[in-house]
């Protein structure tokens, strides 16, 4: 097993699942405590500081990093939104993926450290990410910009472009969603049967207290506000969406819903589904044809 993955999964199983029977405010208090414990998995790899030109920038609501491989630079930029259930900071896995992406494509990585639950919510996080985006496009052609996100960040990688569009700003050139964290919501009979089977194999999200997390994330937003529920948002005006999902991920259920919707609406898309693929399999192992496809999107192909 990946040496980075092993302690992360141990943390998820042993510590986080112990919260599933708690209610607020104890749930929120324990969530913060576990996040602090998980910071040991969040250190920026030393090779990024060594091999990348790196800058820390501030906006209202948080900070973001800009970094680019010193020996291979292009005009391409990636706005990367990390996953973590809306409550975890970026993990070393996320930094490693972005390091490899920059090294192999020459792109500059824009890496926001966005507000998390329980202290913040969807509205505050979207405002912070919009502020970062506004700064970036001051000196960037949006035709060179790709927004990528995984898991919770994958949901944001769809809703943030919607928010960008609704604020009258030019949208990025490409959207890439890795195992996006869309709401599962109500399921039909076929989905219900599939979900029962998937849960047996989903070692990451199978027992996650999703409803409690989503309640904190929603804050005061309406249930159908797309900042809370990405699949409620309009796709009009958005660029091509490239999405990856595995069949051993409970979030494959809403991912397929989005595919069906894009087909019906004629929205440009590319969907890659890995049979028996786990949640965020690309983040755990950024290699192979799926990672190569992401690189082509970053390079504008």
CATH number at residue 232: 3.40.50.1820
Residue 142, H or E segment: none
User: Residue 35 has what pLDDT?
Assistant: 87
Residue 1 has pLDDT above 50, yes or no: no
Residue 187 has pLDDT above 80, yes or no: yes
92 and 4 Cβ atoms separated by less than 8 Å: yes
Kindly report the number of other CB atoms within 10 A of residue 274's CB atom: 18
The more confident residue out of 1 and 211 is 211
57 and 65 Cβ atoms separated by less than 8 Å: yes
Q: What percent of the chain has pLDDT over 70?
A: 93
Summarize pLDDT for 44-96 with one digit per residue, the tens: 999 999 999 999 999 999 999 999 999 999 999 999 999 999 999 999 999 99
User: Residue 128 has what pLDDT?
Assistant: 98
Name the pLDDT band for 16 (thresholds 50, 70, 90): confident
User: Residue 209 has what pLDDT?
Assistant: 74
**First-to-last CA distance in the chain?**
33
Residue 222 has pLDDT above 50, yes or no: yes
| Average pLDDT score over the chain | 92
User: Residue 218 has what pLDDT?
Assistant: 96
User: Residue 34 has what pLDDT?
Assistant: 84
Average pLDDT over every residue of 116-124: 96
User: Residue 292 has what pLDDT?
Assistant: 97
Summarize pLDDT for 143-181 with one digit per residue, the tens: 999 999 999 999 999 999 999 999 999 999 999 999 999
User: Residue 185 has what pLDDT?
Assistant: 87
Record the tokens describing residue 226, joined without a space. 């797309």
Range of the domain at 218: 5-298
CA angle 9, 15, 20 (to 5 degrees): 110
For 107, 147, 148, 226, the CA distances from 155, given in Å and listed in that order, are 22, 11, 10, 10
> Strand 174-178 to strand 241-246: parallel, antiparallel, or no bridges (unpaired)?
parallel
243 and 235 Cβ atoms separated by less than 8 Å: no
User: Residue 42 has what pLDDT?
Assistant: 86
Distance CA 257, CA 111 (A): 28
Q: What percent of the chain has pLDDT over 90?
A: 78
Tally of structural domains, the chain: 1
For 22, 193, 197, 204, 294, the CA distances from 283, given in Å and listed in that order, are 30, 28, 23, 13, 12
- Picking from 50-59, 210-219, 259-268, which range would have the lowest pLDDT averaged per residue? 210-219
Residue 192 has pLDDT above 50, yes or no: yes
**DSSP letters spanning 176-231:** EEES------S--HHHHHHHHHHTTT-TTTTT--HHHHHHHHHTTS-TT-TTT-GG
């Amino acid at each position: 097993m990946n040496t980075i993955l092993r302690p992360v999964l141990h943390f998820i199983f042993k510590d986080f699942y112990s919260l599933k029977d708690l209610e607020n405010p104890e749930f929120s208090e324990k969530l913060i405590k576990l996040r602090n414990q998980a910071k040991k998995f969040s250190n920026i790899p030393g090779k990024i500081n060594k091999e990348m030109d790196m800058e820390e920038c501030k906006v209202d609501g948080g900070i973001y990093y800009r970094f680019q491989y010193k020996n291979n630079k292009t005009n391409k930029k990636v706005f990367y939104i990390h996953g973590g259930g809306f409550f975890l900071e970026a993990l070393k896995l996320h930094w490693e993926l972005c390091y490899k992406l920059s090294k192999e494509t020459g792109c500059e990585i824009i890496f926001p450290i966005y507000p998390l639950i329980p202290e913040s919510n969807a509205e505050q996080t979207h405002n912070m990410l919009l502020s970062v985006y506004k700064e970036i496009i001051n000196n960037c052609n949006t035709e060179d910009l790709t927004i990528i996100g995984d898991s919770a960040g994958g949901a944001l990688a769809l809703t943030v472009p919607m928010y960008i569009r609704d604020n009258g700003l030019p949208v990025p050139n490409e959207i890439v969603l890795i195992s996006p964290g869309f709401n599962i919501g109500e399921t039909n009979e076929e989905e219900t049967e599939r979900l029962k089977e998937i849960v047996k194999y989903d070692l990451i999200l199978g027992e996650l207290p999703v409803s409690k997390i989503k309640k904190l994330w929603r804050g005061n937003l309406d249930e159908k506000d797309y900042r809370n529920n990405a699949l409620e948002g309009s796709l009009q005006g958005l660029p091509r969406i490239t999405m990856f999902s595995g069949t051993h991920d409970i979030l494959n259920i809403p991912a397929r819903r989005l595919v069906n919707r894009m087909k019906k609406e004629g929205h440009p898309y590319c969907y890659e589904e890995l049979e028996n693929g786990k949640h965020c399999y690309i983040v755990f192992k950024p290699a192979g044809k799926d990672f190569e496809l992401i690189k082509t999107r970053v390079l504008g192909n």
